[in-house]
Structure 1
Amino acid sequence: MKRFLKILFISYFLFFPSVSFCEIVDRIVAIVNDDIITLKDLEKYIKVEKKGKYLSIIEYFRNIQFKEKIEFFIDDLLIRQQAKKLKIEVTDRDVELIIEGIKKQHLITEAQLREQLKKENISYEDFFNGIKINQLRSRVIGNAISSEILVTEDMLKHYYNTHLDEFREDEYKLKHIFISNQRKDANKIALNLYNLLKEGKPFEDLAREYSDDPTSSHGGDLGYVKKEDLLPELIEALNLIMPGTYTHVIKTNFGFHILKLMEVKKGDVIPYEEVKTKIHEKIIQTESEKRYKEYIQKLRRSSYIEVKI
Structure 2
Amino acid sequence: MRKFVAFFMFLFCLEIVHAYQGFGWNIDPETAKKVVAQVGNKKITEMEVQRYMKVLLPMNYYHRTLTEEKKKEIRKKAIDYLVNRELLYYEAKKKGIKIPDKQIDKLIKELEEKYKSKKNLEKLLKQTGLSLEQFKEELRKRLAIDKLLKEYVSVKITDKELKEYYEKNKYKFKEPEALKLRYIYIKVDPSKPKGRQIAKERAEKAYKEIKEGKDFGDVAYRYSDDLSRIKGGELGFVHKGRFEKPVEEVIYKLKVGEVSPLIETELGFHIVKVEAKRKSRVVPFEKIKEKLKKELIEKYQKERYEALLNDAKKELKVVIFDK
TM-score w.r.t. the length of structure 2 is 0.38
Task: Flag the structure with larger Rg.
Answer: 2
- Give TM-score scaled by structure 1 length: 0.39
Identify, as 1 or 2, the structure richer in helix: 2
